[in-house]
Chains A and B, each alone.
Chain A
Amino acid sequence: MIEFKEVSKIYPGAQTPAVKDLSFEILEGEICVLVGPSGCGKTTSMRMINRLIEPSSGEILIDGEPNTKMSGTALRRKIGYAIQQIGLFPHRTIARNIATVPQLLGWDRERIRRRVDELLELVGMNPADFRDRYPSELSGGQQQRVGVARAMAADPPIMLMDEPFGAVDPITRERLQDEFLRIQENIKKTIVFVTHDIDEAVKMGDKIAILEQGGILAQFDSPENILTHPNSEFVASFVGADRVLKRLSLLRVADMRLDPADGADDLPTIDERLTVRDALSQIVGVGATGGIVERDGERQLLTIKAIEGLLKDSGSARG
């Protein structure tokens, strides 16, 4: 658990604070996304957690203890750290890159070797193929995977991720996001995730903290509530005019209750693993009014009407 208590940061010589009176709480096992336009202080806020930046006032508690209780380096070895530019060590092999923190913590060689292989498997890279390569031999997507694996190496309970999937093409990014969410389901880390992309925030976050210029917390809530009830003009415009559609990307077809379909053979077939947004896009794309979902050997009907109903439901239920 991470708690910001009236944290402010004013850089020397700056007129306005980078972060102002920030107070909020990140629960254990949750992904909290810090999102906002550039200059909103999201990266500064994240870097104050592991004390790469020291706040000008206020404090940050980790599990109830101020993060100033131990030395910066000791603290940072307990917190995973992954950044957009990845920052792999070019002179070290993939295995030695991943082994960085375990080595600092003095793990024995055999334990490190096992952990490296386990992590490479976890991020979908064959250890035998990649262990002894150098970062320059990897594609951007592979490097980002290694960056995330390296951040997880010593199994830290907390991870800080600053646009960790930012340096790859959109298709690879989506795949990395999905993979990471799948991994997170099992490891349940407390994650602080920085991005400027509201779509990524909605997708990745259990909670979203929207920051505005000057490091002011505009809204802190679940993605659904932020999309349904933006609390200010700024948040509404930041999440975008398509926020209704964004809400649909939070839901999967598999989660919807559907009726059996009788007949209706001319409708497109929808994969139940799709998000409702993608399903809607597929239905509208072929000019249909609904689609067929195959589930447990049964053919079920997903209509545009049912999707509309969904929006009303979640809107009022959480209002």
Chain B
Amino acid sequence: MGSIQLALLLQSLDQQLVDWAWIRQNYREDIVPAVIGHIYLSFVSVAIALAISLPVGIIVSRYRKAYPPVTILTGLLYTIPSLALLAILVVIPGIGVGPNAVIIALVAYSLLVLIRNVVTGIDSVPAETIDAARGMGLTERQILFKVEIPLALPVIVAGIRIATVTVIGIATIGAYIAGGGLGQLIFDGIDQNFPTKVIVGAVLATAMAVVADLLLLALERYLRPWARRVRGAS
């Protein structure tokens, strides 16, 4: 098969699936706001989830008895199907439809992973490192902020990575209850039988997840400078 024929075939497919002219025309009104809305949903959700998980994780790592109930509760939240959770939230008075319901759902999904990674990160700090720190006269607070959290940070960021990628994916469903974001394009495209919107929404959501994953991976590496160097001198 000649390359010209292949190009023609691709072009015809192209015309059916992706209407480039539409993209050029509606770039500002439809696509950019959807991207911004999606970033907003994902970022705010992960930020709130982190603000809850850090203190909870630190407390749980100190008071071990609290860990099983916390795990059970966040695990339960994690298992609720996302559509069902959104539906429940919408009927709760004071929440209703809109981005807030979506954010609450996304926070609920992130807690399990984030809390678990905060606890795992703190647990991974060697006991002798803490003993040495205490023996040199660091206060409990200094041990937490100068030793435990810096050493746990790469593991915590690994949790943020998983949570972020998950949240970017689930956030698309949020459009179902008028949460905005790239899901809006996808749902519109389905309703209007206009594949271009579906594809644009899906491709951008995927790209966003990949980019966030890579950025956070880079951050994770950056936070562990001691592991980047070559090991074992002499």
Residues of chain B within 8 A of A81, CB atoms compared: 132, 135-136
With contacts A86-B132, A142-B234 known, is A136 near B147, CB below 8 A? no
Residue of A nearest to B233 (CB): A137
Contact (Cβ within 8 A) B134 A52: yes
Given contact pairs A89-B147, A137-B230, A142-B234, A83 touches B131 in the complex (Cβ within 8 A): yes
- In the complex, identify which listed stretch (B48-56, B100-108, B221-229) lies at the interface while the others stay far away: B221-229
Q: Is B231 an interface residue (CB 8 A)?
A: yes
Tell which of A7-15, A69-77, A248-256, A311-319 binds the partner: A69-77
B16 → A minimal CB distance (Å) = 55
Identify the closest chain B residue to A160 (Cβ): B135
A138 at the interface (CB under 8 A from B): yes
Residue A50 at the B interface, CB < 8 A?
yes
Measured between C-beta atoms, what is the minimum distance from B181 to chain A in Å? 37
CB of A137 within 8 A of CB of B229, answer yes
Chain B residues closer than 8 Å to A151, beta-carbon distance: 136
- CB of B229 within 8 A of CB of A87, answer no
Q: How far apart sit A76 and B137, CA to CA, in the bound complex (Å)?
A: 5
Encoded as 1 (CB less than 8 Å from any B CB) or 0, chain A from 121 to 138 comes to: 000000000000111111
B226 with A88: CB separation less than 8 A: no
**Contact (A135, B131) CB under 8 Å given A73-B139, A76-B136, A81-B136:** no
In angstroms, Cα B233 to Cα A81, docked, is: 25
Interface residues of B in 200-234 (CB under 8 A from A): 224-227, 229-234
Chain A residue at smallest Cβ distance from B153: A91
Is A309's beta carbon under 8 Å from chain B?
no
Give residues 115-164 of B contacting A (CB, 8 Å). Answer: 126, 128-139, 142, 147, 150-151
Per-residue B-contact encoding for A293-313, CB less than 8 Å = 1, 0 else: 000000000000000000000
Q: Are A77 and B132 in contact (CB under 8 A)?
A: no
A50 CA to B143 CA in the complex, in Å? Answer: 17
Q: Are A139 and B233 interface neighbours, CB within 8 A?
A: yes
The answer to whether A88 touches B132, judged by C-beta atoms less than 8 angstroms apart, is yes
Decide if A77 touches B151 in the complex (CB within 8 Å): no
Return the CB mask of A42-74 against B: 1 if under 8 Å, else 0. Answer: 000000001010000000000000000000011
Contacts of A83 in B (CB 8 A): 128, 131-132, 135
Contact of A104 among B134, B136, B147, B224 (CB under 8 A): B136
Residues of B within 8 A of A104 (CB): 136-138, 142
State the CA gap A45–B233 with chains docked (Å): 36
Please state if A101 and B137 are interface contacts (CB–CB under 8 Å).
Answer: yes
Q: How far apart are the CA atoms of A87 and B133 in the complex, in Å?
A: 8
Contacts A137-B232, A137-B233, A139-B232 known; A100 to B128 CB distance under 8 Å? no
> Quick one: given A133-B233, A135-B226, are A85 and B135 in contact (CB under 8 Å)?
no
Check if A39 is an interface residue, CB within 8 A of chain B. Answer: no
A89 touches B131 (CB 8 A): no
Which of chain A's residues 152-172 have a Cβ closer than 8 Å to chain B?
160
CB distance from B127 to the nearest CB of A (A): 8
- A104–B234 Cα distance when bound, in Å, is 32
A240 within 8 A of B: no
Contacts of A139 in B (CB 8 A): 232-234
B133: min CB distance to chain A, Å? 7
Verify if A90 is at the interface (C-beta below 8 Å from B): yes
Neighbouring A residues of B150 by C-beta, 8 Å: 91
In the assembled complex, the CB of B159 is this many whole angstroms from the nearest CB of chain A, namely: 18
Q: Report the Cα distance A147→B129, complex, angstroms.
A: 11
Least distance between A45 CB and chain B CB atoms (Å): 15
Q: Quick one: given A91-B150, A91-B151, are A86 and B136 in contact (CB under 8 Å)?
A: no
Q: Which residue on chain A has the smallest CB distance to residue B147?
A: A89
Closest residue on chain B to residue A78 by CB atoms: B137
Q: Which residues of A contact B226 (CB under 8 A)?
A: 90-91, 134-136
22 A-B pairs with CB atoms under 8 Å apart are A50-B135, A52-B134, A74-B137, A76-B134, A76-B137, A77-B137, A81-B132, A81-B135, A85-B128, A87-B126, A89-B129, A89-B132, A89-B133, A90-B151, A100-B138, A135-B226, A136-B232, A137-B230, A137-B231, A139-B234, A142-B234, A151-B136
Residues of chain B touching chain A, judged by Cβ–Cβ distance below 8 Å, are: 126, 128-139, 142, 147, 150-151, 224-227, 229-234
Q: A87-B129, A138-B233 are in contact. List 13 more A-B contacts (CB 8 A).
A: A50-B135, A81-B135, A83-B131, A86-B128, A88-B132, A90-B126, A104-B137, A133-B229, A133-B233, A135-B226, A139-B232, A142-B233, A151-B136
Which 10 pairs between the two chains have the least Cβ-Cβ distance?
Answer: A87-B132, A77-B137, A85-B128, A81-B135, A76-B137, A134-B226, A87-B128, A87-B129, A73-B137, A137-B233
